[in-house]
Each structure stands twice: as C-alpha cells, then as structure tokens.
Structure 1
Amino acid sequence: MSQKMISAVNHSALIPQFFFICLGMGGASLYLFRLAKGPHVTWNKTNNPEPWNKLDPSYQYKFVAITTDYKNLKKEGPNF
C-alpha cells in the first residue's frame, strides 16, 4: 500500500472528509459540463458563429428580460 493510503486508514476520521471533497469536486465538474453544453456557448465558430440566433423568441434563457413581453408569447403548454 502507498503511504497516503496507510495514513487514511490510520486516521479513519479523514475518510468522510475525502468522500465529501470528492463528491463536491464531482458535482462541480458536472455542473461546469452542463454549463458548457448550453445553447449560448459556442465551441466551433466556423460552422455556427452565433448559435443564440437559432433560439425561438419564447426560449427564456435569462431570468428577467426588460424589453420582452412574456404575456404575448406563444405557449406550448396548457393554460391554468
């Protein structure tokens, strides 16, 4: 066994800390991957330099848009 593994076995109180650190790093990596796959991010500028122009007007990618009137946009779901 390596020296680091022996120290983790000898100090068993560090095992949950290693677990939660790895869990947090994994969650942060997945979140960054999700952000990188969004429609407003461009990775290939030769094929589509402005991907946000393909979005329809009802796609709300901001929380608040001051100039957009959301009452007049077409809905795809039922009215409640």
Structure 2
Amino acid sequence: MLHQIISQVKKHQHLIPLFIFIGARGTGAALYVLHLALFNPDVSWDKKNNTEPWNKLGPNDQYKLYSVNVDYSKLKKKVQTSK
C-alpha cells in the first residue's frame, strides 16, 4: 500500500500538501490524547497514593486545555455556609 501511495505522489505531485496535512492532523490528535492521558484530573495513574485526584482541584485550577471565556486566575473560592 505504501508503494502505491508513493507512486501516486510521484505522478501527482500536487497531492503532497494533502498528505502533509493529513499527517499533521493525525499527529495533533495523538498529542491531544497524550495530553488528556497525562494531565486530565479524571485519569488516575497512581491508584495507591492518589486514588481520586479530581477531589484535590480547587476553583482556581485550570483543567481544560483551552477555555474561551473563563480566566481561572481571577476566580474566587466560594465559601459554603451551613444553616
């Protein structure tokens, strides 16, 4: 199959940017999945010492890769009062 792709690229050189774009897109997707696996608070790799890492997140902790309208550094912690 790789031989067939290479022969098509040699015949139609205008397809080279398409292959570059598809390769870069796959690389970006793989990097995003790696980021989720390593830095997402929902994933726990250490079951003995930190079984529930999502419970240690405060309101100022940014756990999203990109947030459009929220500046996590300016958030204040809400104090709950019991009645």
Verify: 1:28 aligned to 2:29, yes or no: yes
Distance in 2, matches of 1:23 and 1:39, equals 23
Distance in 1, matches of 2:59 and 2:4, equals 58
What is the TM-score normalised by the length of structure 1? 0.60
Verify: 1:61 aligned to 2:63, yes or no: yes
Q: Which has the higher helix share?
A: 2
Larger relative CO (CA 8 A, sep 6+): 1 or 2?
2
- For these two proteins, the number of residue pairs brought into alignment is 67
Report runs of 4+ in structure 1 exceeding 4 Å deviation.
none
- Aligned CA RMSD, in angstroms, stands at 2.8
- After superposition, the C-alpha distances for 1:37-64 in whole angstroms (9 at most, x for unaligned) are 115111232342112234455424377x
Taking every aligned residue pair, what percent have the same amino acid on both sides? Answer: 45
Gaps of 5+ in 2: 68-74, 79-83
What is the TM-score normalised by the length of structure 2? 0.59
Counterpart in 2 of 1:44?
46
Contact 2:60 2:76 in 1 (8 A): no
Matched letter for residue 27 of structure 1 = G
Gaps of 5+ in 1: 64-69, 74-80
Contact 1:42 1:49 in 2 (8 A): yes
